[in-house]
């Protein structure tokens, strides 16, 4: 089946630094990937749609200069949280549309900014 690998699974960083999260489709090509964030006991909120070879499409209220998305190949999208602050601490999850029209999710990244 379709597998999406997300790395790292958790990261702790100092306030003001940047953190990069990778999302890879392992056995299929993904022209489109999606990035979500999830606060404790809340549902997933779509942040942006990552398009291979073009600019990402951000949801309303998501700062594109803070959450940089790069989708340089058909199997890799990266999310960089720039100048991270404690309020950016959250669970970030990526997904990709796999074969058969279903969506496959990565295992998520727990970001803690101290």
Residue 71 interacts with other proteins (CB under 8 A): yes or no: no
In DSSP terms, 97 is beta-bridged to 103
The DSSP letter of residue 20 is E
Residue number with CB closer to other proteins (33 or 81): 33
How far apart, in whole angstroms, are the C-alpha atoms of residue 13 and residue 100?
Answer: 38
Residue 43 interacts with other proteins (CB under 8 A): yes or no: yes
Residues 11 to 40 in contact with other proteins, rule: CB under 8 A: 34
Identified binder of other proteins from the candidate list 21, 93, 111, 113, rule CB under 8 A: 93
Interface size with other proteins, residues (CB under 8 A): 21
Residue 110 interacts with other proteins (CB under 8 A): yes or no: yes
For the CB of residue 85, give the shortest distance to other proteins in the complex, in Å.
22
Identified binder of other proteins from the candidate list 24, 71, 104, 111, rule CB under 8 A: 104
* Positive/negative CA dihedral, 78, 44, 108, 99: negative
CA dihedral 47, 80, 9, 2 (to 10 degrees): 60
The DSSP letter of residue 28 is S
Residue 105 interacts with other proteins (CB under 8 A): yes or no: yes
CB-CB neighbours of 67 under 10 Å: 20
For the CB of residue 29, give the shortest distance to other proteins in the complex, in Å.
18
């Amino acid at each position: 089946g379709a597998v999406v690998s997300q790395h790292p699974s958790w990261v702790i960083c100092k306030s003001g630094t940047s953190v990069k999260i990778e999302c890879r489709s392992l056995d299929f090509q993904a022209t489109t990937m999606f990035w979500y964030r999830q606060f404790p006991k809340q549902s997933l909120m779509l942040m942006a749609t990552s398009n291979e070879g073009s600019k990402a499409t951000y949801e309303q209220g998501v700062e594109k200069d803070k959450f940089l998305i790069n989708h340089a190949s058909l199997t890799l999208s990266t999310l960089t949280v720039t100048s991270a602050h404690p309020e950016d601490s959250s669970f970030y999850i990526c997904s990709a549309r796999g074969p058969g029209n279903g969506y496959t999710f990565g295992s998520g990244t727990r970001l803690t900014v101290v």
